[in-house]
Structure 1
Amino acid sequence: MMTLAAVDRIVAAALEEDAPWGDITSEALIPTGAVATAVLAAREPGIFSGSAVFDAAFRLTDPTIAVAWQVADGDRFSAGQTLATITGPARAVLTAERIGLNFAQRMSGIATLTGSYVDAVAGTGVRIADTRKTTPGLRVLERHAVRSGGGHNHRHSLSDAVMAKDNHLAVLTASGLSVTEALLQAKTRLPHTTHIEVEVDRLAQIEPVLAAGIGTIMLDNFSLDDLRTGVAMVAGRATVEASGGVTLETVRAIAETGVDVISVGALTHSARALDLGLDVRVELPASS
């Protein structure tokens, strides 16, 4: 989950990157006592995500800056809608604006794309899930954005669950063990609470994997016909996940094969930043 500590760590690093020795433009051009009012507005429709991150950009720059929200994470908005109003010392507002806006645009883009996939499978009962194809260092933010869009998170990291892919199985069976034997042996080295998922790329692999009592089976790059056959073969003995080559054009048909989960790497690796604008009005201090 996205904790305040994680948000502050990520945003502080971004602010340090953007103004390592201060904002010399604002310091040179903006009087010390000037006050700014900024409006975060949508230039296109979408689903919002990133309020805590946007807040942190201003709070960590100057805690006297106030952000008043008119939307919450997960809310849909229309073009032209005001999302938030920011007021505070002009220098600080101008220093923080780009970092706050970058995060809000990126996270809202992910939420909006996720919402499109969720809408496409409405009524099927299928979960849309993300993958580990996230921006290094920003996973916690991007996965929060997926949830804002109505999607679900896959395992957060390599430490959370076992997910055996083709290369893992090749190593496991190199000693001559069958896939079933290798998986059963691996299970003896794991805590009983650890979830196990195994990826298969052909129908013939399904029964040997299921015989090991795994919790989730991923049908990777299966045709629609093979997905339907695979779901029938599993027959409720494990959660069935479909993955590979999923697009907005194909996701509905995949969902209708009877799978339980569809994982989509594009939610995070191919989402376009949403067009949000931040218009700033500065009031100069009265001359002494």
Structure 2
Amino acid sequence: MISQEQFNKEIELIIANAVREDVGDGDHSSLACIPFDAHGKAKLLVKDDGIIAGVAFAKRVFEYIDKDLKVETLIDDGAEVKHGDIVFYVEGSSQSILKAERLVLNAMQRMSAIATKTKIFADLLEGTGAKILDTRKTTPGIRAIEKWAVKIGGGENHRFALYDMIMLKDNHIDFAGGITKAITKTKAYIKDNHLDLKIIVEARNLDEIEEILKSDGVYRILIDNFNYEDTKKAVAMIGDQCQTESSGGINESTVRDYGLCGVNYISSGALTHSVYNMDLSLKAV
């Protein structure tokens, strides 16, 4: 996984680019009718039920826009919220609050939706021993905050990007000429380039599981699109040789049954690509 320093840089880039995109050469609506020295206060109002996420991100946005803005937090990231709750108050320059408003709301609405969905999956897996993972099926440009939201919701992050872990999926295997060749070439590549990267290999059937197990150095086997019975067989075959992960269209109705098959992890792109934003508002008080 990426370091905290790398993650912080990603957050900084997201904020800087979002402000560039939204503000441009100025918030002319506010500049036109609100005095430069006007002082204001606003509240983050919840108009939905779920898990709140993005409070810490919002604070970083406010600080980026105006270091003199003051935030009073009433509810922290990861807490359950209901319609009518107030998450925080922000006070300071009225122009600055309005400049930050849309970025804060856009991010928090999406992050809260992701955290809420992740919490549902995590709760369904309770007691199975399996943990829920996200994927790279994220919104281009804002992956860091979406993966942050997964963590807030009780999930775990898979690899962040193509550079921090090696995953040999079906196309890699087919282009490389087969599983064994793909693994052998990958291990040589890691050694030749002095890299410290874990290797995950995808299996499409039990025969491929058997072939993967003939090679050492595999960190995790991705048991992709298996039914329950074959997943149990795959887990039994793999034993303690490496970690196991189920994937492939797993949803709220099936996630617990896959967890009960004995896998270590279950990955779901739906955590980040199939959510409906939580309804939040930033209202003047």
Same structural fold, with TM-score higher than 0.5 when normalized by the shorter chain: yes
Please state whether the residue corresponding to 1:180 is helix, strand or coil: helix
Deviation at 1:3, TM superposition (A): 4.2
Query: Which of 190, 204, 222 lines up with 1:201 in the alignment?
Result: 204
1:13 is aligned to: 17
Please state whether the residue corresponding to 1:151 is helix, strand or coil: coil
> What runs of 5+ residues in structure 1 fail to find an aligned partner?
282-288
Q: What residue identity is the alignment partner of 1:20?
A: G
2:225 is aligned to: 221
Deviation at 1:199, TM superposition (A): 0.4
Distance in 1, Cα, partners of 2:48 & 2:235:
39
Distance in 1, Cα, partners of 2:98 & 2:196:
49
**Bigger Rg, structure 1 or 2:** 1
Q: Is the 8 A contact 1:57 1:97 kept in 2?
A: no
Cα–Cα, structure 1 residues 47 and 23, in superposed 2: closer, same or farther, change >3 Å?
same
Distance in 1, Cα, partners of 2:234 & 2:8:
42
2:255 is aligned to: 251
| Bigger Cα displacement from structure 2, 164-173 vs 148-157 | 164-173
2:42 is aligned to: 38
Deviation at 1:57, TM superposition (A): 2.4
Q: How does 1:57-68 map to 2 (within 5 A)?
A: 57-68=61-72
Deviation at 1:181, TM superposition (A): 4.9
Distance in 1, Cα, partners of 2:156 & 2:148:
9
Q: Is the 8 A contact 1:133 1:269 kept in 2?
A: yes
1:280 is aligned to: 284
Does 2:215 correspond to 1:212?
yes
Deviation at 1:170, TM superposition (A): 1.3
User: Percent sequence identity over matched residues?
Assistant: 39
Distance in 2, Cα, partners of 1:182 & 1:273:
40
> What runs of 5+ residues in structure 2 fail to find an aligned partner?
none
Q: How does 1:252-271 map to 2 (within 5 A)?
A: 252-271=256-275
Q: Is the 8 A contact 2:172 2:182 kept in 1?
A: no
| Bigger Cα displacement from structure 2, 48-57 vs 14-23 | 48-57
2:183 is aligned to: 183
Question: What do residues 119-146 of structure 1 show as CA deviations (whole Å, max 9, x unaligned)?
Answer: 1111111110000111111111111111
**TM-score normalised by structure 1 residue count:** 0.91
| Bigger Cα displacement from structure 2, 28-37 vs 241-250 | 28-37
The RMSD of aligned alpha carbons is: 1.7
Q: What residue identity is the alignment partner of 2:108?
A: A
Deviation at 1:186, TM superposition (A): 3.0
Q: Is the 8 A contact 1:7 1:52 kept in 2?
A: no
Cα–Cα, structure 1 residues 67 and 30, in superposed 2: closer, same or farther, change >3 Å?
same
Deviation at 1:188, TM superposition (A): 2.6
Deviation at 1:239, TM superposition (A): 0.8
Query: Which of 105, 112, 118 lines up with 1:108 in the alignment?
Result: 112
Q: What residue identity is the alignment partner of 2:203?
A: V
Please state whether the residue corresponding to 1:72 is helix, strand or coil: coil
Cα–Cα, structure 1 residues 203 and 43, in superposed 2: closer, same or farther, change >3 Å?
same
Deviation at 1:7, TM superposition (A): 2.2
Deviation at 1:97, TM superposition (A): 0.8
Distance in 2, Cα, partners of 1:40 & 1:181:
55
Please state whether the residue corresponding to 1:80 is helix, strand or coil: coil
Q: Is the 8 A contact 1:242 1:262 kept in 2?
A: yes
Deviation at 1:182, TM superposition (A): 4.4
1:146 is aligned to: 150
Question: What do residues 223-254 of structure 1 show as CA deviations (whole Å, max 9, x unaligned)?
Answer: 11111111111122111100001111111111
